[in-house]
Amino acid sequence: MRYSKYFLFTSKENPAGAINISHSLLIRGSFISQLSSGIYNFLPIGFRVLKKVWKVIEEEMDRIGALQVLMPALHPSDLWEKTGRWQTMDNVMFKLQDKKGANMVLGTTHEEIITDIVSKFVKSYKNLPLLLYQIQVKFRDEIRPKGGLVRAREFIMKDLYSFHTNWECLDKTYQDVYQAYVRIFERLSIPVESVEAFSGPIGGDVSHEFMVVTEAGEDKFVKCTNCGYAASTEIAQIKKPEINYKYKPIDKLNKVHTPSVSSVEQLVNFLGKKPQNFVKSVLYRVGSTYILVLVRGDKEVNEIKLEKYIKNELKIMEEISMAKEDDFDRLGSVIGFIGPLNLKDKILFLKNEKKLSDEIDLKIIADFSVYGLKDVIVGANEKDYHFVGIDFDNIEIDSFADVSTVIDGDKCVKCGEEYRIFPALELGHIFKLGTKYSEPLKAYFADKDGKIKPMIMGCYGIGVSRIISAILEAYSSENSMTWTFNSAPFFVYLITINMDDEAQYKISDNIYNGLSNFEVLWDDRKESAGTKFKDWELIGIPICIVIGNKIKEGLVEIKVNPNFPKTISNKKINSEFISKLFDSLSIFITLQEVEEKIKHIYNELDGIVNG
């Protein structure tokens, strides 16, 4: 491709409002342009990158026997109503009506549609398992899109769905997909961590996320410094401490006046203590049971873990909600000043006075973080008062549980060593769905014995457009993108220093034609050398061939994007080999060697990355 005929409009200026390096570089390089908040055009060079990523994903999906389909982005509401997600996903759906007034939705995801398709065609175990996928646009009306392609309202996703006769078969496919994902990220040279994850509204019991560590991400995961176990902070568990707890009621409560000071942060300032010197009490309601959760002041209640605990251990199945102001009134406490010490007495008193129904129950659950605390501060269940000087065994609790979100330094549930927290961007997420969608949408099949059963399903997503940002976040620097071998829009950037110099022009033309199999972008503009070098660096093409004055001596320079070798040695191969491959390049070599060198490097890299 000749630059002069191409659609490339680079900019020296950072776009206003771009916070992430990937966002800024993509705009500056004219890879994408913004149409509206969270809605982007892919311009020619950006679309080339998208297609490169797309191709790797397709090849790996094909390799595990998945079949590609293309489903519509525009859906009627009925299928979504059948699964209940018309309501539960309402907050992110673009909903609209057609001219007849029928409800429609722009697809946020495609479980409903694919399940509907399969239910119509597949009736027998003989046609299962079945893996179908698409690479298509998704719409989510995110309240706050940000970071360019990091969180967009319209974005490209690869979504794969699998259908099975039984769980064992799903387990096997889940492993196949897991391995396919590992290969996809390896081939794109993206350093991902796979972490245990929360299934969320998609549903199912088991899920993994593929995360890339970057400040540009919006998620967090923890990884054990010893055994390497990794999990999303949404679900990461903490090792249970050796608990030796004997309730010792305190003789005299020491109450302090804390006027209009209720949050831990305010208390820290008011009393001059650390957050760890507080026990935070958070009240939840589950049916007629109130749950008072105690966590150390520097930690947060994890509602996902709490919900699991309440359902699995306490066997209470009603919906859990945060207590409201009238709940506090009912229990004789005050919002912002609730605490565990005298709350049960208050409730007993209210019940005796017939001011509170006997059905109401209160359970006090202490997070592991509260265990062993001495001399802490808790709410006094009285406006503007806290108790001080409390030890953990002065608090009468019903049970200890792991119900707080992991923070740096918490102990690994597997081996007991310390966790570290990493900021991350989620690129892929795989789920075991079970029959969550096959039941309501009647995706049934006849088994060998003629019994009609619902199909067992899995679903597996990759944020294709988000991957583009992730690659740049992983390797790029302020004024220079770095693409990886399989994502680079071009492999070679050919610079002709002086287009008016006939010798330079002719040789450039020959090299351009001679390397036509290697995706060459020829900067054939009558611009200054500096302009061309800066553009090469900005758009991040791995190899640069420079045709300049030295051509008189039959010499040509080959340069490598200095960050590019990092994207290869990331792949656990011999780094000495990599440096050898590139070290001899940033010098002048003879004209005859150029084609040979480029072919050699290309083939070696192809073997390493895709082999």
Partner RNA sequence: CGGGGUGUAGCUCAGACUGGUUAGAGCGCGUGCCUUGGGAGCACGAGGUCCGCGGUUCAAGUCCGCGCACCCCGACCA
Give 213's contacts (C-beta < 8 A, 6+ positions apart): 191, 193, 422, 423, 424
- Interstrand relation of 419-434 and 444-446 (parallel, antiparallel or unpaired): unpaired
Q: How far is the CB of 530 from RNA (least distance, A)?
A: 3
- Compute the least distance from the CB of residue 460 to RNA, in Å: 9
* Beta carbons within 10 angstroms of residue 96's beta carbon: 12
Instruction: Out of 528, 574, 579, 610, name the contact with RNA by CB under 7 A.
Output: 528
202 lies in the binding site for RNA (CB under 7 A): yes
The smaller minimum CB distance to RNA, of residues 128 and 497, is found at 497
CB-CB contact of 94 with 105 (8 Å)? yes
Q: Does 538 bind RNA (CB under 7 A)?
A: yes
Per-residue contact string for residues 102-141; x = within reach of RNA by CB under 7 A: ------xx----------------------------x-x-
Other Cβ atoms less than 10 A from the Cβ of 262: the count is 17
* Other C-beta atoms lying within 10 Å of the C-beta of residue 67: 12
Q: How many residues bind RNA (CB under 7 A)?
A: 64
453: contact with RNA by CB under 7 A: no
The SS3 call for residue 64 is coil
Q: What is the DSSP letter of 239?
A: P
d(CA 276, CA 295): 10
Q: Judged by CB under 7 A, which stretch of 287-295, 361-369, 535-543, 567-575 contacts RNA?
A: 535-543
Instruction: Report the chain's terminal Cα–Cα distance, integer Å.
Output: 27
Written as six digits, the tokens of 268 are: 């820290």
Verify binding: residue 85, RNA, rule CB under 7 A. Answer: no
Considering only residues 559, 578, 602, 609, which one is a binding residue for RNA as defined by CB under 7 A? Answer: 559
Task: Please give the residues from 303 up to 322 whose contact with RNA meets the rule CB under 7 A.
Answer: none
Interactions with RNA, residue window 156-195 (CB under 7 A): 157, 159
Beta-bridge partners for 42: 32
Q: Name the β-bridge partners of 420.
A: 223
Which of residues 319, 325, 326, 500 is near RNA by CB under 7 A?
Answer: 500
Residue 156's H or E segment, with its range, is: strand 154-164
597 scored as a contact of RNA (CB under 7 A): no
Closest approach, Cβ 38 to RNA, in A, equals: 6
The reply to whether 426 sits near RNA by the rule CB under 7 A is: yes
Residues 6+ apart with CB under 8 A from 51: none
Contact status: 530 vs RNA (CB under 7 A): yes
CB of 138 to RNA, least distance (A): 6
201 binds RNA (CB under 7 A): yes
Among 68, 175, 549, 579, binds RNA (CB under 7 A): 549
CB of 438 to RNA, least distance (A): 18
Give the full edge-to-edge strand order of the sheet including 376-379. Answer: 254-257, 385-390, 376-379
Q: Is 550 an interacting residue with respect to RNA (CB under 7 A)? A: yes
Q: Which of 335, 548, 570, 595 binds RNA (CB under 7 A)?
A: 548
Nearest CB to RNA, comparing residues 82 and 220: 220
**Contacts with RNA in 334-373 (CB under 7 A)?**
none
Find out whether 469 and 216 touch, Cβ atoms under 8 Å.
yes
- The minimum distance between CB 609 and RNA, in angstroms, equals 25
Q: Which of 226, 263, 399, 531 forms a contact with RNA (CB under 7 A)? A: 531
The minimum distance between CB 397 and RNA, in angstroms, equals: 26
Q: Are 539 and 10 in contact (CB under 8 A)?
A: yes
DSSP 374: -
Nearest approach, Cβ of 371 to RNA (angstroms)? 26
Specify the pairing of strand 444-446 against strand 452-454.
antiparallel
Dist. CA 207–CA 179, nearest whole Å: 14
Q: Given the DSSP bridges, would you call strands 154-164 and 456-463 parallel, antiparallel or unpaired?
A: antiparallel
Instruction: Tell me how far, at minimum, the Cβ of 215 lies from RNA, in Å.
Output: 10
Query: By CB under 7 A, is residue 34 in contact with RNA?
Result: yes
Handedness of CA 190, 196, 198, 201 (dihedral sign): positive
Concatenated DSSP letters for 414-451? TTS-BEEEEEEEEEEEEEEEETTTTTTTT-EEE-TTS-
What's the CA gap between 55 and 468, in Å, rounded? 13
Nearer to RNA, 381 or 496 (CB): 496
The answer to whether 84 contacts RNA (rule: CB under 7 A) is: no
Task: Give the residues lining the site for RNA (CB under 7 A).
Answer: 10-19, 34, 36-38, 89, 91-92, 108-109, 138, 140, 142-147, 151, 157, 159, 198, 200-202, 218-219, 426, 429, 461, 463, 479, 497-501, 526-531, 533-535, 537-538, 546-550, 557, 559
